[in-house]
Amino acid sequence: MSDFDLFDALPDSVDCDKEEYKTSCCNKMDDQTKTSPLDEGLDLEVSHNPKSFQCAVTLMLAGSRFKRLLNCSGRELCSAIMECFMEETIVERTAGLCKSGKIFTRANSEHQCTLSDKSKKSIVLAAEALKLQAYQLRAGYENSKVLLKMSRYSCSSINGQTVLLSINQSYKLVCRQKGDEVELGLEKCSLELQDISEDKTHYLFYKKASDVTFFTFESVRFPGWFISTDNESEGLSVDMCRQEAVRLTQFQKD
């Protein structure tokens, strides 16, 4: 292999003297490249016309790393190369998530209200079980309705109203996934959340008007799932359902 010359691999169509061809190639390389010594036996050759500035920077960094790794053993060298590769990959993916992530910012808009579904069942709180239920309240029991605080949030990439629902300054309505289903629950949290990132969107709902009087609450974390009540019976839990389910998803403020 030491006697092999690249010139011998050229096709027969190349019609020139061997020494002339070598001289021409060397002159072209001298015009296009620059060699910088890094260490004994190791030179860095950089093109004068790189494809991009990023390529040149990457090449310089690679040369610098190789120089530091010259005295490493085989195992240490392999470990260091893999560590550098993993570090750059993780940074690149994290930056991508930050760039595309949605941030919901609290707006200066909140009010308290009670809710009832389209069949006039009111939302009440079963304090012991910490569950919301729907009842047809008789006269004199109106005070049993749970008072909800509705806080509005906004996001630059989303049109429409996004709200957070809380009770008694201590509990917030949240959506949780359980298998293939999504459940509505109450989570103890007295903090006033100013900014909500995508990992906390289980607190948020899209409030959408279905007509002049009624509106729906769709989960931000789980699109297609709505706060709902049973279509007929009272005293059952308020929970989440898909839009096509036979449940009531439309509410109005009392």
Which of 48, 68, 100 terminates a domain? The answer is 100
* 175 and 94, same domain (yes or no): no
Q: Please give the C-alpha separations between residue 163 and each of 39, 108, 132, 242, in angstroms, as whole numbers.
A: 63, 12, 18, 19
- Whether 59 is covered by a domain: the verdict is yes
Same domain assignment for residues 82 and 134? no
Q: CATH number for the domain including 115?
A: 2.80.10.50
Same domain, 186 and 239: yes
Q: Give the integer Cα–Cα distance in Å for 59 and 182.
A: 50
Residue 1 covered by a domain: no
Tell me: do 217 and 113 sit in the same domain: yes
Per the CB < 8 A criterion, the answer to whether 171 and 130 are in contact is: yes
Average pLDDT over residues 68-86: 58
In this prediction, residues 120-134 reach a mean pLDDT of: 92
pLDDT digits over 11-39, tens only?
A: 554 455 555 545 554 444 444 566 766 56
Helical ranges in the chain per DSSP H = 18-32, 53-68, 74-100
Residues 202 and 129 in one domain: yes
Residues 117 and 234 in one domain: yes
Last residue of a domain, one of 48, 83, 100: 100
Range of the domain at 152: 103-253
pTM assigned to the model: 0.60
Indicate whether 173 and 214 sit together in one domain. Answer: yes
Single-letter code of the amino acid located at 211: D
pLDDT tens, residue by residue, 83-104: 554 443 333 333 333 334 678 9
**Assigned domain for 207 exists:** yes
Task: Tell me what percent of the chain is helix, strand and coil, each rounded to the nearest 5.
Answer: 30, 40, 35
Nearest residue to 223 via CA among 242, 209, 237: 242
Q: Are residues 113 and 204 in the same domain?
A: yes
- Is 133 a member of any domain? yes
Mean of the per-residue pLDDT values for the chain?
A: 77
